[in-house]
Amino acid sequence: MDIEGDRRPRPRFRTRAKMLWDDRFFYVAAELEEPNLWATLRERDSIIFHDNDFEVFLDPDGDSHLYTEIELNALNTVWDLLLVKPYRDGGPAIHAWDIPGLKTAVHLEGTLNEPGDDDTIWTVEIAIPFGVLAETTRAACPPRVGDRWRLNFSRVQWQLDVRDGQYTKILDADTGNPLPENNWVWSPQRKIAMHEPEYWGIVEFVEKADGAVAADAVDRAAWTLRQVSYRLADAHDEGGRYPATIATEPGIEYWSDGTRYTLSTETGGAVVTLDETGRLTTARPE
């Protein structure tokens, strides 16, 4: 669906993805319907979303820090990067970070960059080694049956025209810039902002897939704390400090010295905490 959700038109081309795992890799396969196979970027760690692309976002421990982004175009050019924090919380993105052992492949049904032929789909295969993810997360890598990760998929799609026998982005008649790209995702973000991990979907590791994953008590508690954090961010933007007190739902504890804060709540024996950096932590009973 569109990154902004139901208020925007449904994607005009179908995208499907599946996931698997074993003791070494997390696997993603995607099939992208595409009548105009096009890609230009060939150098690793180029800004791949300047082409049509497929993207994977992974936050295994769900704390919104130290999460992975991988982008591929139809040339199988890879951009892999590590986000220390979301951009809204100060980032930065580490573009030089590469994933040793990452395996990727693409397959094209049609001919790349040939406007005159019949194109239908391109497919993506990605194998992400757990050993690298283990360096950036508190989650078990490889995961255990029942573990849950935050994850999203995104597809960037530009509007193309053909000029002099080549694909080119359609330009806005007033500005001369390319028309805005479409952003299609698995889990809608409510606005064009992929780097808000709390809106990503939840994937649960199972031995046999048996339906959709429902939010649990910890997920609901984390979401409640996020809502308070948005209000705190607004207050900070307005006054330059976090307030000494704030109205919250029963069961939420709040502390602040004006420059820092923590929000915490307990559910099912687990203590869920969120601080001013946007980092979410969950302490579960042993």
User: What are the domain boundaries of the chain?
Assistant: 5-204, 217-283
- How many Å is the Cα radius of gyration of the chain? 21
**Side chain identity at residue 120, one-letter code:** T
Q: What is the pTM of this model?
A: 0.93
- Residue-by-residue pLDDT tens, the chain, 286 positions: 999 999 999 999 999 999 999 999 999 999 999 999 999 999 999 999 999 999 999 999 999 999 999 999 999 999 999 999 999 999 899 999 999 999 999 999 999 999 989 999 999 999 999 999 999 999 999 999 999 999 999 999 999 999 999 999 999 999 999 999 999 999 999 999 999 999 999 999 999 887 788 889 999 999 999 999 999 999 998 889 999 999 998 999 999 999 999 999 999 889 999 999 999 999 887 6
Beta strands 148-157; 201-204: pairing state = antiparallel
- H runs (alpha helix) in 178-279: 217-239
Within 10 angstroms of residue 105's Cβ, the number of other Cβ atoms is: 12
Count CA atoms closer than 13 A to 139's CA, side-chain side.
28
HEC string for 59-72: ECCCCCCCEEEEEE
Cα 231 from Cα 226, distance rounded (Å) = 9
- Residue appearing with tokens 């997920």: 219
Is omega for the bond preceding 92 within 30 degrees of 0, making it cis?
yes
Indicate the class that CATH gives domain 5-204: mainly beta
Token pair of 74 as six digits = 């139809």
Cα 191 from Cα 5, distance rounded (Å) = 8
